[in-house]
Chain A
Amino acid sequence: MSYEAVIGLEVHAQLLTDSKIFCNCSTKFGSNPNSQVCPICLGMPGVLPKLNKRVVEFAVMLGLATNCRINKSSLFARKNYFYPDLPKGYQISQYELPICENGYIIIKVKGEEKRIGITRIHMEEDAGKLIHEGGASLVDLNRTGTPLLEIVSEPDLRTAEEAVAYLKELRQILLYLGICDGNMEEGSFRCDANVSVRKAGETRFGTKAELKNINSFRFIQRAIEYEIERQIDLIESGGRVVQETRLFDSSKGITISMRGKEEAHDYRYFPDPDLMPVSFDEGFVEEIKAKLPEIPYDKRRRFINEYNLPEYDVEIITTDRDIADFFEETARLFNNPKTISNFIMTEILKELNEKKIGIRDTKITASLLAKLLTLLNENKINTNGARAILPKVMESGRDPESFIEELGLAQISNEDEILKMIDEVLKENQKELQEYLSGKDKLFAFFVGQVMKKSRGKANPKLLNELIKKRLDELASK
Protein backbone atom coordinates (compact mmCIF):
# COMPACT_ATOMS: atom_id res chain seq x y z
CA MET A 1 0.00 0.00 0.00
CA SER A 2 1.42 3.38 -0.89
CA TYR A 3 0.90 6.47 1.19
CA GLU A 4 1.00 10.17 0.63
CA ALA A 5 2.01 12.74 3.23
CA VAL A 6 0.21 16.04 3.65
CA ILE A 7 2.21 18.84 5.23
CA GLY A 8 1.25 22.37 6.19
CA LEU A 9 3.70 24.80 7.76
CA GLU A 10 3.37 27.65 10.23
CA VAL A 11 6.28 30.04 10.27
CA HIS A 12 6.93 32.74 12.83
CA ALA A 13 9.17 35.51 11.54
CA GLN A 14 10.49 38.13 13.94
CA LEU A 15 10.43 41.54 12.32
CA LEU A 16 13.39 43.87 12.08
CA THR A 17 11.73 46.85 13.68
CA ASP A 18 13.60 48.98 16.19
CA SER A 19 10.80 49.00 18.74
CA LYS A 20 8.20 46.47 19.87
CA ILE A 21 4.80 46.05 18.27
CA PHE A 22 2.70 47.82 20.92
CA CYS A 23 5.22 49.90 22.89
CA ASN A 24 8.46 51.82 22.43
CA CYS A 25 10.81 49.29 24.08
CA SER A 26 13.77 48.15 22.01
CA THR A 27 13.69 44.77 20.25
CA LYS A 28 17.47 44.33 20.45
CA PHE A 29 18.60 40.73 20.88
CA GLY A 30 20.89 39.64 23.70
CA SER A 31 20.51 42.48 26.21
CA ASN A 32 20.47 42.04 29.97
CA PRO A 33 17.32 40.29 31.21
CA ASN A 34 14.28 42.51 31.71
CA SER A 35 16.13 45.64 30.62
CA GLN A 36 13.79 46.23 27.64
CA VAL A 37 10.41 46.19 29.33
CA CYS A 38 7.80 48.80 30.23
CA PRO A 39 4.32 48.82 31.77
CA ILE A 40 2.76 47.97 28.37
CA CYS A 41 4.79 44.85 27.56
CA LEU A 42 4.80 43.82 31.24
CA GLY A 43 1.00 43.76 31.06
CA MET A 44 0.43 46.19 33.92
CA PRO A 45 -3.20 47.14 34.56
CA GLY A 46 -4.55 50.21 32.82
CA VAL A 47 -2.06 50.50 29.98
CA LEU A 48 -3.00 50.77 26.34
CA PRO A 49 -1.15 49.17 23.43
CA LYS A 50 -0.37 51.39 20.44
CA LEU A 51 0.44 49.75 17.13
CA ASN A 52 3.83 50.23 15.46
CA LYS A 53 3.19 51.46 11.91
CA ARG A 54 6.26 49.70 10.53
CA VAL A 55 4.83 46.31 11.54
CA VAL A 56 1.83 46.99 9.33
CA GLU A 57 4.11 48.10 6.48
CA PHE A 58 6.22 44.94 6.80
CA ALA A 59 3.11 42.75 6.85
CA VAL A 60 1.81 44.43 3.69
CA MET A 61 5.24 44.04 2.04
CA LEU A 62 5.26 40.30 2.70
CA GLY A 63 1.63 40.01 1.63
CA LEU A 64 2.39 41.67 -1.69
CA ALA A 65 5.56 39.62 -2.21
CA THR A 66 3.60 36.40 -1.66
CA ASN A 67 0.65 37.33 -3.90
CA CYS A 68 -1.81 37.72 -1.01
CA ARG A 69 -4.99 39.70 -0.84
CA ILE A 70 -4.34 42.64 1.49
CA ASN A 71 -7.20 43.31 3.89
CA LYS A 72 -7.43 47.06 4.31
CA SER A 73 -9.27 46.46 7.52
CA SER A 74 -8.10 43.74 9.86
CA LEU A 75 -8.56 42.93 13.50
CA PHE A 76 -6.48 42.20 16.54
CA ALA A 77 -7.76 39.48 18.82
CA ARG A 78 -6.79 38.16 22.22
CA LYS A 79 -5.57 34.59 22.41
CA ASN A 80 -6.06 33.62 26.02
CA TYR A 81 -3.80 31.25 27.89
CA PHE A 82 -1.67 31.22 31.01
CA TYR A 83 2.05 30.82 30.80
CA PRO A 84 4.76 32.75 32.65
CA ASP A 85 6.32 34.06 29.43
CA LEU A 86 3.07 35.88 28.69
CA PRO A 87 2.47 38.46 31.41
CA LYS A 88 -0.96 39.67 30.26
CA GLY A 89 -2.52 36.19 30.26
CA TYR A 90 -3.25 36.65 26.55
CA GLN A 91 -1.30 37.16 23.39
CA ILE A 92 -2.41 39.90 21.03
CA SER A 93 -2.75 38.20 17.66
CA GLN A 94 -5.10 38.21 14.69
CA TYR A 95 -7.78 35.61 14.29
CA GLU A 96 -10.88 36.01 12.19
CA LEU A 97 -9.64 38.85 10.01
CA PRO A 98 -5.88 38.72 9.35
CA ILE A 99 -4.04 41.40 7.40
CA CYS A 100 -3.15 39.16 4.42
CA GLU A 101 -4.92 36.12 2.94
CA ASN A 102 -4.94 33.77 -0.03
CA GLY A 103 -1.45 34.05 -1.43
CA TYR A 104 1.10 31.64 -2.81
CA ILE A 105 4.77 31.19 -3.48
CA ILE A 106 6.43 29.06 -6.13
CA ILE A 107 8.99 26.46 -5.15
CA LYS A 108 11.14 24.22 -7.28
CA VAL A 109 11.86 20.62 -6.35
CA LYS A 110 13.65 18.16 -8.62
CA GLY A 111 13.39 20.60 -11.52
CA GLU A 112 9.61 20.94 -11.18
CA GLU A 113 7.89 24.15 -10.16
CA LYS A 114 5.04 23.90 -7.71
CA ARG A 115 2.70 26.53 -6.34
CA ILE A 116 2.25 26.42 -2.57
CA GLY A 117 -0.75 28.29 -1.18
CA ILE A 118 -0.50 30.69 1.71
CA THR A 119 -3.66 30.67 3.77
CA ARG A 120 -2.93 33.76 5.80
CA ILE A 121 -0.32 36.09 7.23
CA HIS A 122 -1.08 37.79 10.49
CA MET A 123 0.59 40.13 12.95
CA GLU A 124 1.15 39.20 16.57
CA GLU A 125 3.41 39.75 19.54
CA ASP A 126 6.14 37.37 20.67
CA ALA A 127 6.26 35.96 24.19
CA GLY A 128 9.16 36.17 26.64
CA LYS A 129 11.88 33.64 27.29
CA LEU A 130 12.07 31.05 30.04
CA ILE A 131 15.16 29.49 31.51
CA HIS A 132 14.51 26.39 33.56
CA GLU A 133 16.77 26.13 36.53
CA GLY A 134 16.52 23.69 39.39
CA GLY A 135 13.05 23.81 40.87
CA ALA A 136 12.13 27.10 39.24
CA SER A 137 11.76 28.87 35.94
CA LEU A 138 13.39 32.24 35.31
CA VAL A 139 11.55 34.73 33.13
CA ASP A 140 13.09 37.33 30.84
CA LEU A 141 10.45 39.53 29.22
CA ASN A 142 12.73 41.42 26.80
CA ARG A 143 11.30 39.47 23.85
CA THR A 144 7.71 40.00 24.99
CA GLY A 145 6.04 42.23 22.42
CA THR A 146 8.61 41.74 19.67
CA PRO A 147 6.61 41.87 16.44
CA LEU A 148 6.02 38.63 14.59
CA LEU A 149 4.41 37.70 11.35
CA GLU A 150 2.87 34.25 11.35
CA ILE A 151 2.72 32.77 7.87
CA VAL A 152 0.40 29.79 7.49
CA SER A 153 0.66 27.62 4.40
CA GLU A 154 -2.06 25.55 2.79
CA PRO A 155 -1.59 21.78 3.23
CA ASP A 156 -0.09 21.69 -0.27
CA LEU A 157 3.26 20.12 0.58
CA ARG A 158 3.76 16.41 0.04
CA THR A 159 7.36 15.66 1.02
CA ALA A 160 9.93 16.82 3.53
CA GLU A 161 11.97 18.08 0.60
CA GLU A 162 9.10 20.29 -0.58
CA ALA A 163 8.63 21.59 2.95
CA VAL A 164 12.28 22.61 3.14
CA ALA A 165 12.14 24.19 -0.33
CA TYR A 166 9.11 26.23 0.77
CA LEU A 167 10.85 27.37 3.95
CA LYS A 168 14.01 28.35 2.10
CA GLU A 169 12.02 30.32 -0.46
CA LEU A 170 9.98 32.07 2.23
CA ARG A 171 13.08 32.87 4.23
CA GLN A 172 14.78 34.27 1.14
CA ILE A 173 11.77 36.48 0.42
CA LEU A 174 11.91 37.84 4.00
CA LEU A 175 15.63 38.52 3.61
CA TYR A 176 15.13 40.23 0.24
CA LEU A 177 12.45 42.44 1.77
CA GLY A 178 14.81 43.18 4.66
CA ILE A 179 12.06 42.65 7.21
CA CYS A 180 13.48 39.62 9.10
CA ASP A 181 17.07 38.46 9.60
CA GLY A 182 16.09 34.81 9.10
CA ASN A 183 18.34 33.61 11.91
CA MET A 184 16.99 30.19 12.85
CA GLU A 185 19.37 29.59 15.74
CA GLU A 186 18.40 32.79 17.50
CA GLY A 187 14.75 32.02 16.78
CA SER A 188 13.96 34.89 14.46
CA PHE A 189 12.65 32.36 11.89
CA ARG A 190 10.77 29.49 13.55
CA CYS A 191 8.74 26.72 12.08
CA ASP A 192 5.98 24.34 13.19
CA ALA A 193 4.93 21.56 10.83
CA ASN A 194 1.54 19.85 10.63
CA VAL A 195 2.06 16.37 9.24
CA SER A 196 -0.46 13.70 8.34
CA VAL A 197 -0.50 10.73 5.96
CA ARG A 198 -3.22 9.13 3.87
CA LYS A 199 -3.46 6.20 1.51
CA ALA A 200 -2.80 7.02 -2.12
CA GLY A 201 -6.00 8.12 -3.82
CA GLU A 202 -7.71 9.15 -0.57
CA THR A 203 -9.04 12.72 -0.73
CA ARG A 204 -9.74 13.30 2.95
CA PHE A 205 -6.89 14.29 5.22
CA GLY A 206 -5.56 11.94 7.85
CA THR A 207 -5.17 12.94 11.50
CA LYS A 208 -2.26 15.31 11.89
CA ALA A 209 0.51 15.67 14.40
CA GLU A 210 2.08 19.06 15.02
CA LEU A 211 5.87 19.21 15.18
CA LYS A 212 7.01 22.22 17.19
CA ASN A 213 9.88 24.66 16.99
CA ILE A 214 12.54 22.94 14.94
CA ASN A 215 15.54 25.20 14.48
CA SER A 216 17.35 24.19 11.29
CA PHE A 217 16.46 23.15 7.75
CA ARG A 218 18.25 19.85 8.25
CA PHE A 219 16.28 19.07 11.41
CA ILE A 220 13.00 20.04 9.75
CA GLN A 221 13.72 17.63 6.92
CA ARG A 222 14.63 14.82 9.31
CA ALA A 223 11.73 15.50 11.70
CA ILE A 224 9.16 15.42 8.90
CA GLU A 225 10.70 12.33 7.29
CA TYR A 226 10.70 10.54 10.63
CA GLU A 227 7.13 11.59 11.39
CA ILE A 228 5.81 10.41 8.01
CA GLU A 229 7.42 7.03 8.52
CA ARG A 230 6.17 6.78 12.09
CA GLN A 231 2.59 7.46 11.04
CA ILE A 232 2.72 4.96 8.17
CA ASP A 233 4.18 2.26 10.42
CA LEU A 234 1.50 2.98 13.00
CA ILE A 235 -1.33 2.62 10.47
CA GLU A 236 0.22 -0.47 8.86
CA SER A 237 0.41 -2.19 12.23
CA GLY A 238 -3.26 -1.49 12.86
CA GLY A 239 -2.86 1.59 15.01
CA ARG A 240 -4.36 5.04 14.71
CA VAL A 241 -2.63 8.44 14.57
CA VAL A 242 -3.74 10.73 17.39
CA GLN A 243 -3.83 14.48 17.07
CA GLU A 244 -1.06 15.80 19.29
CA THR A 245 1.99 18.00 19.55
CA ARG A 246 5.32 16.28 19.12
CA LEU A 247 8.84 17.50 19.74
CA PHE A 248 11.84 16.61 17.61
CA ASP A 249 14.76 15.16 19.51
CA SER A 250 17.66 16.06 17.26
CA SER A 251 20.19 13.86 19.05
CA LYS A 252 18.09 10.74 18.47
CA GLY A 253 16.48 11.89 15.21
CA ILE A 254 12.98 11.03 16.43
CA THR A 255 9.79 12.88 17.39
CA ILE A 256 8.38 12.49 20.89
CA SER A 257 4.81 12.96 22.05
CA MET A 258 4.11 15.89 24.34
CA ARG A 259 0.77 14.41 25.28
CA GLY A 260 -0.09 14.83 28.91
CA LYS A 261 2.40 17.64 29.21
CA GLU A 262 0.08 20.29 27.89
CA GLU A 263 -3.55 21.07 28.40
CA ALA A 264 -6.18 21.02 25.72
CA HIS A 265 -6.09 24.33 23.89
CA ASP A 266 -9.09 26.55 24.21
CA TYR A 267 -7.87 30.03 23.49
CA ARG A 268 -11.25 31.80 23.55
CA TYR A 269 -10.22 34.32 20.92
CA PHE A 270 -12.15 37.56 20.90
CA PRO A 271 -11.53 40.99 19.31
CA ASP A 272 -9.15 43.00 21.48
CA PRO A 273 -11.20 45.92 22.81
CA ASP A 274 -8.01 47.96 23.42
CA LEU A 275 -7.21 48.08 19.72
CA MET A 276 -9.18 49.52 16.85
CA PRO A 277 -9.47 47.54 13.64
CA VAL A 278 -6.27 48.18 11.66
CA SER A 279 -7.30 50.17 8.64
CA PHE A 280 -5.50 51.92 5.82
CA ASP A 281 -6.34 53.03 2.34
CA GLU A 282 -5.25 51.95 -1.13
CA GLY A 283 -2.65 54.75 -1.17
CA PHE A 284 -0.83 53.12 1.75
CA VAL A 285 -0.64 49.83 -0.15
CA GLU A 286 0.38 51.54 -3.39
CA GLU A 287 3.21 53.38 -1.66
CA ILE A 288 4.57 50.10 -0.32
CA LYS A 289 4.12 48.38 -3.67
CA ALA A 290 6.21 51.09 -5.34
CA LYS A 291 9.10 50.47 -2.96
CA LEU A 292 8.93 46.67 -3.08
CA PRO A 293 12.17 45.01 -4.26
CA GLU A 294 12.13 42.32 -6.91
CA ILE A 295 11.30 38.99 -5.27
CA PRO A 296 13.83 36.12 -5.57
CA TYR A 297 11.69 34.09 -7.99
CA ASP A 298 11.42 37.00 -10.44
CA LYS A 299 15.08 37.86 -10.08
CA ARG A 300 16.17 34.30 -10.86
CA ARG A 301 14.03 34.19 -13.98
CA ARG A 302 15.29 37.55 -15.15
CA PHE A 303 18.94 36.62 -14.56
CA ILE A 304 18.51 33.47 -16.63
CA ASN A 305 16.93 35.39 -19.51
CA GLU A 306 18.87 38.62 -19.37
CA TYR A 307 22.36 37.28 -18.67
CA ASN A 308 21.99 33.90 -20.24
CA LEU A 309 23.39 32.18 -17.17
CA PRO A 310 22.89 28.55 -16.19
CA GLU A 311 20.21 27.97 -13.56
CA TYR A 312 22.82 26.68 -11.16
CA ASP A 313 24.82 29.92 -11.28
CA VAL A 314 21.69 31.98 -10.86
CA GLU A 315 20.60 30.01 -7.79
CA ILE A 316 23.91 30.74 -6.14
CA ILE A 317 24.42 34.37 -7.02
CA THR A 318 20.84 35.32 -6.10
CA THR A 319 20.87 33.63 -2.70
CA ASP A 320 21.96 36.91 -1.20
CA ARG A 321 20.35 40.07 -2.52
CA ASP A 322 23.53 42.10 -2.03
CA ILE A 323 25.53 39.61 -4.11
CA ALA A 324 22.85 39.66 -6.82
CA ASP A 325 23.01 43.48 -6.91
CA PHE A 326 26.80 43.38 -6.95
CA PHE A 327 26.72 40.97 -9.88
CA GLU A 328 24.34 43.21 -11.82
CA GLU A 329 26.36 46.35 -11.22
CA THR A 330 29.49 44.55 -12.37
CA ALA A 331 27.70 43.20 -15.43
CA ARG A 332 26.98 46.78 -16.51
CA LEU A 333 30.73 47.49 -16.52
CA PHE A 334 32.18 44.20 -17.71
CA ASN A 335 30.48 42.57 -20.60
CA ASN A 336 30.84 38.90 -19.80
CA PRO A 337 28.24 37.80 -17.24
CA LYS A 338 29.42 34.19 -17.12
CA THR A 339 32.99 35.27 -16.24
CA ILE A 340 31.59 37.44 -13.46
CA SER A 341 29.35 34.73 -12.04
CA ASN A 342 32.23 32.21 -12.18
CA PHE A 343 34.51 34.57 -10.33
CA ILE A 344 31.85 35.41 -7.74
CA MET A 345 31.04 31.74 -7.15
CA THR A 346 34.58 30.38 -6.99
CA GLU A 347 36.53 33.26 -5.51
CA ILE A 348 34.42 35.96 -3.90
CA LEU A 349 31.94 33.71 -2.09
CA LYS A 350 34.84 31.62 -0.84
CA GLU A 351 36.47 34.70 0.68
CA LEU A 352 33.19 35.87 2.21
CA ASN A 353 32.34 32.46 3.65
CA GLU A 354 35.79 32.04 5.14
CA LYS A 355 35.57 35.40 6.86
CA LYS A 356 31.82 35.01 7.57
CA ILE A 357 31.05 38.46 6.23
CA GLY A 358 28.81 39.97 3.56
CA ILE A 359 29.90 41.67 0.36
CA ARG A 360 28.96 45.04 1.85
CA ASP A 361 31.36 44.45 4.72
CA THR A 362 34.24 44.53 2.24
CA LYS A 363 35.65 47.41 0.24
CA ILE A 364 35.33 45.84 -3.16
CA THR A 365 32.95 47.60 -5.54
CA ALA A 366 31.47 46.57 -8.88
CA SER A 367 33.91 48.85 -10.69
CA LEU A 368 36.92 47.34 -8.87
CA LEU A 369 35.79 43.83 -9.75
CA ALA A 370 35.26 44.91 -13.36
CA LYS A 371 38.84 46.26 -13.41
CA LEU A 372 40.23 43.06 -11.95
CA LEU A 373 38.41 40.94 -14.52
CA THR A 374 39.62 43.25 -17.29
CA LEU A 375 43.23 42.74 -16.18
CA LEU A 376 42.60 39.02 -16.35
CA ASN A 377 40.89 39.32 -19.69
CA GLU A 378 43.79 41.33 -21.14
CA ASN A 379 46.29 38.75 -19.86
CA LYS A 380 48.00 41.26 -17.62
CA ILE A 381 47.54 38.75 -14.82
CA ASN A 382 46.44 35.14 -14.79
CA THR A 383 43.87 33.42 -12.59
CA ASN A 384 46.39 32.83 -9.83
CA GLY A 385 47.22 36.51 -9.87
CA ALA A 386 43.57 37.52 -9.72
CA ARG A 387 43.12 35.13 -6.82
CA ALA A 388 46.00 36.78 -4.96
CA ILE A 389 44.80 40.31 -5.65
CA LEU A 390 41.14 39.76 -4.73
CA PRO A 391 41.51 39.63 -0.91
CA LYS A 392 43.76 42.71 -1.06
CA VAL A 393 41.13 44.67 -2.96
CA MET A 394 38.36 43.48 -0.65
CA GLU A 395 40.39 44.67 2.30
CA SER A 396 41.67 47.97 0.94
CA GLY A 397 39.35 49.09 -1.84
CA ARG A 398 42.45 49.97 -3.89
CA ASP A 399 42.76 49.71 -7.66
CA PRO A 400 43.61 46.06 -8.51
CA GLU A 401 46.25 47.19 -10.98
CA SER A 402 48.26 48.75 -8.14
CA PHE A 403 48.83 45.29 -6.69
CA ILE A 404 50.34 43.74 -9.82
CA GLU A 405 53.79 45.09 -9.22
CA GLU A 406 53.54 45.08 -5.44
CA LEU A 407 52.80 41.35 -5.41
CA GLY A 408 55.04 40.62 -8.41
CA LEU A 409 52.13 39.22 -10.35
CA ALA A 410 52.65 40.74 -13.75
CA GLN A 411 52.00 38.00 -16.23
CA ILE A 412 54.88 37.06 -18.47
CA SER A 413 53.71 37.43 -22.03
CA ASN A 414 57.11 37.98 -23.55
CA GLU A 415 57.74 35.14 -26.04
CA ASP A 416 61.52 35.15 -25.71
CA GLU A 417 61.34 35.01 -21.97
CA ILE A 418 58.96 32.08 -22.05
CA LEU A 419 60.95 30.26 -24.75
CA LYS A 420 64.05 30.60 -22.63
CA MET A 421 62.31 28.90 -19.74
CA ILE A 422 60.94 26.18 -22.03
CA ASP A 423 64.42 25.37 -23.29
CA GLU A 424 65.73 25.22 -19.76
CA VAL A 425 62.99 22.83 -18.72
CA LEU A 426 63.55 20.57 -21.74
CA LYS A 427 67.24 20.50 -21.00
CA GLU A 428 66.67 19.61 -17.37
CA ASN A 429 64.27 16.82 -18.30
CA GLN A 430 66.02 14.91 -21.06
CA LYS A 431 64.51 11.56 -20.08
CA GLU A 432 60.94 12.85 -20.27
CA LEU A 433 61.72 14.62 -23.52
CA GLN A 434 62.92 11.38 -25.14
CA GLU A 435 59.84 9.54 -23.89
CA TYR A 436 57.61 12.26 -25.29
CA LEU A 437 59.32 12.19 -28.65
CA SER A 438 58.88 8.45 -28.80
CA GLY A 439 55.12 8.84 -28.41
CA LYS A 440 54.25 9.42 -24.76
CA ASP A 441 51.93 12.42 -25.49
CA LYS A 442 50.69 12.61 -21.94
CA LEU A 443 53.97 14.23 -20.91
CA PHE A 444 52.93 17.44 -22.63
CA ALA A 445 51.11 18.55 -19.48
CA PHE A 446 54.22 17.75 -17.45
CA PHE A 447 56.31 20.22 -19.46
CA VAL A 448 53.61 22.89 -19.16
CA GLY A 449 53.59 22.38 -15.40
CA GLN A 450 57.35 22.57 -15.11
CA VAL A 451 57.59 25.81 -17.09
CA MET A 452 54.71 27.32 -15.11
CA LYS A 453 56.55 26.40 -11.94
CA LYS A 454 59.73 27.99 -13.23
CA SER A 455 57.80 31.19 -13.99
CA ARG A 456 56.38 31.05 -10.48
CA GLY A 457 52.89 30.91 -11.89
CA LYS A 458 53.26 34.06 -13.92
CA ALA A 459 53.55 32.75 -17.45
CA ASN A 460 50.64 33.53 -19.73
CA PRO A 461 49.12 30.05 -19.89
CA LYS A 462 47.74 30.37 -23.41
CA LEU A 463 51.00 31.59 -24.83
CA LEU A 464 52.95 29.02 -22.85
CA ASN A 465 50.86 26.21 -24.32
CA GLU A 466 51.37 27.45 -27.85
CA LEU A 467 55.10 27.90 -27.44
CA ILE A 468 55.72 24.48 -25.88
CA LYS A 469 53.69 22.85 -28.62
CA LYS A 470 55.71 24.71 -31.25
CA ARG A 471 59.04 23.80 -29.68
CA LEU A 472 58.17 20.13 -29.22
CA ASP A 473 56.85 19.88 -32.76
CA GLU A 474 60.12 21.34 -34.02
CA LEU A 475 62.09 18.76 -32.04
CA ALA A 476 59.85 15.92 -33.22
CA SER A 477 60.24 16.81 -36.89
CA LYS A 478 64.03 16.83 -36.66
Chain B
Amino acid sequence: MPEINKDLVKYVAGLARLAFDETELEDFTNKFKNILNYVEKLGELNVEDVSPTYHPMPVNYAMREDIVKKSLDVERALLNAPDRKDDFFRVPKVVD
Protein backbone atom coordinates (compact mmCIF):
# COMPACT_ATOMS: atom_id res chain seq x y z
CA MET B 1 0.00 0.00 0.00
CA PRO B 2 1.53 3.36 -1.00
CA GLU B 3 1.80 6.01 1.67
CA ILE B 4 -1.18 8.35 1.63
CA ASN B 5 0.13 11.89 1.49
CA LYS B 6 -0.83 15.18 -0.09
CA ASP B 7 1.09 14.44 -3.28
CA LEU B 8 -0.81 11.22 -3.83
CA VAL B 9 -4.14 12.93 -3.23
CA LYS B 10 -3.14 15.65 -5.65
CA TYR B 11 -2.20 13.01 -8.23
CA VAL B 12 -5.49 11.14 -7.87
CA ALA B 13 -7.41 14.41 -8.06
CA GLY B 14 -5.48 15.24 -11.23
CA LEU B 15 -6.52 11.96 -12.84
CA ALA B 16 -10.12 12.91 -12.10
CA ARG B 17 -9.50 16.44 -13.42
CA LEU B 18 -10.20 17.97 -10.01
CA ALA B 19 -8.29 20.80 -8.36
CA PHE B 20 -8.17 21.38 -4.59
CA ASP B 21 -6.65 24.05 -2.41
CA GLU B 22 -4.24 23.29 0.45
CA THR B 23 -6.95 22.94 3.11
CA GLU B 24 -8.97 20.57 0.94
CA LEU B 25 -5.88 18.49 0.14
CA GLU B 26 -5.14 18.20 3.86
CA ASP B 27 -8.74 17.20 4.54
CA PHE B 28 -8.81 14.57 1.78
CA THR B 29 -5.47 13.15 2.85
CA ASN B 30 -6.89 12.45 6.30
CA LYS B 31 -10.11 11.04 4.91
CA PHE B 32 -8.27 8.77 2.47
CA LYS B 33 -6.14 7.50 5.36
CA ASN B 34 -9.19 6.80 7.52
CA ILE B 35 -11.03 4.96 4.77
CA LEU B 36 -8.05 2.82 3.87
CA ASN B 37 -7.27 2.06 7.50
CA TYR B 38 -10.83 0.92 7.92
CA VAL B 39 -10.64 -1.37 4.88
CA GLU B 40 -7.22 -2.60 6.03
CA LYS B 41 -9.07 -4.47 8.79
CA LEU B 42 -9.95 -7.08 6.18
CA GLY B 43 -6.26 -7.86 6.00
CA GLU B 44 -6.52 -9.42 9.46
CA LEU B 45 -8.62 -12.25 8.04
CA ASN B 46 -7.17 -15.37 6.55
CA VAL B 47 -8.69 -15.60 3.07
CA GLU B 48 -6.29 -18.08 1.55
CA ASP B 49 -9.05 -20.48 0.45
CA VAL B 50 -11.62 -17.84 -0.42
CA SER B 51 -12.01 -16.85 -4.07
CA PRO B 52 -12.57 -13.16 -4.77
CA THR B 53 -16.14 -11.89 -4.94
CA TYR B 54 -16.63 -9.85 -8.08
CA HIS B 55 -20.34 -9.51 -7.73
CA PRO B 56 -22.53 -9.97 -4.67
CA MET B 57 -25.18 -12.01 -6.47
CA PRO B 58 -24.12 -15.19 -8.26
CA VAL B 59 -26.78 -15.12 -10.96
CA ASN B 60 -26.63 -16.56 -14.44
CA TYR B 61 -25.48 -14.05 -16.95
CA ALA B 62 -28.29 -12.45 -18.85
CA MET B 63 -27.07 -11.70 -22.36
CA ARG B 64 -29.06 -10.02 -25.10
CA GLU B 65 -29.51 -11.20 -28.66
CA ASP B 66 -27.67 -9.31 -31.41
CA ILE B 67 -30.59 -7.25 -32.65
CA VAL B 68 -30.54 -3.66 -33.91
CA LYS B 69 -33.11 -1.31 -32.48
CA LYS B 70 -33.80 2.30 -33.27
CA SER B 71 -31.17 4.75 -32.07
CA LEU B 72 -31.82 8.23 -30.77
CA ASP B 73 -32.71 10.92 -33.21
CA VAL B 74 -29.54 12.94 -33.79
CA GLU B 75 -31.22 16.11 -32.51
CA ARG B 76 -32.06 14.39 -29.25
CA ALA B 77 -28.56 12.96 -29.02
CA LEU B 78 -27.06 16.45 -29.33
CA LEU B 79 -29.66 18.19 -27.15
CA ASN B 80 -27.39 18.59 -24.11
CA ALA B 81 -24.22 19.27 -26.06
CA PRO B 82 -22.62 22.57 -24.95
CA ASP B 83 -21.43 23.05 -28.52
CA ARG B 84 -21.97 21.39 -31.87
CA LYS B 85 -21.10 21.71 -35.50
CA ASP B 86 -23.55 20.19 -37.96
CA ASP B 87 -24.26 16.76 -36.46
CA PHE B 88 -21.00 16.54 -34.51
CA PHE B 89 -20.31 17.31 -30.87
CA ARG B 90 -17.77 20.14 -30.88
CA VAL B 91 -15.09 20.12 -28.17
CA PRO B 92 -11.86 22.03 -27.51
CA LYS B 93 -9.07 20.76 -29.71
CA VAL B 94 -7.45 17.66 -28.23
CA VAL B 95 -4.29 17.33 -30.31
CA ASP B 96 -1.98 19.86 -31.87
Contact = CB atoms under 8 A, between A and B. Distances in A.
Interface of A: 17-19, 24-26, 32-39, 42, 50-56, 75, 80, 82-84, 130-141, 261, 266, 268, 271, 273, 276-280
A277 B67 contact: no
Contacts of A80: 15
B95 to A, nearest CB: 6
Interface of B: 15, 17, 54-55, 57, 59-69, 71-72, 74, 77-78, 83, 85-96
Nearest to A83: B94
Nearest to A134: B93
A53 B78 CA distance: 29
Given A50-B62, A83-B94, A138 B54 contact: no
Contacts of B87: 32-35, 140
A34 B89 contact: yes
User: What 8 A-B pairs come out closest when comparing CB atoms?
Assistant: A24-B69, A138-B88, A53-B63, A54-B66, A139-B89, A33-B87, A84-B91, A26-B68
Contact of A137 (B68, B69, B72, B92): B92
Q: What is the interface of chain B mostly: helix, strand, loop, or mixed?
A: loop
B88 A37 contact: no
Nearest to B59: A276
B55 A51 contact: no
B15 A34 contact: no
B72 A39 contact: yes
A132 B85 CA distance: 12
A277 B64 contact: no
Given A34-B77, A82-B17, A277-B55, A51 B67 contact: no
Contacts of A36: 71
A280 B90 CA distance: 42
B15 A268 contact: yes
Contacts of B15: 80, 266, 268
Given A19-B68, A136-B91, A278 B77 contact: no
Contact of B93 (A38, A39, A135, A266): A135
A56 B92 CA distance: 37
Given A50-B63, A82-B17, 9 more contacts: A18-B67, A18-B68, A19-B67, A26-B71, A53-B64, A137-B91, A276-B62, A277-B61, A279-B60
A52 B54 contact: no
B66 A19 contact: yes
Contacts of B67: 18-19, 24
B55 A276 contact: yes
A156 B63 CA distance: 36
B71 A17 contact: no
A99 to B, nearest CB: 12
A33 B54 CA distance: 37
Contacts of B63: 50-53, 56
Nearest to B94: A137
A373 to B, nearest CB: 41
B73 to A, nearest CB: 9
23 contacts: A18-B66, A19-B69, A35-B74, A50-B63, A51-B64, A52-B66, A56-B63, A80-B15, A82-B17, A84-B91, A84-B94, A132-B93, A132-B94, A135-B93, A136-B83, A137-B90, A137-B93, A138-B88, A139-B90, A268-B15, A271-B55, A276-B61, A277-B54
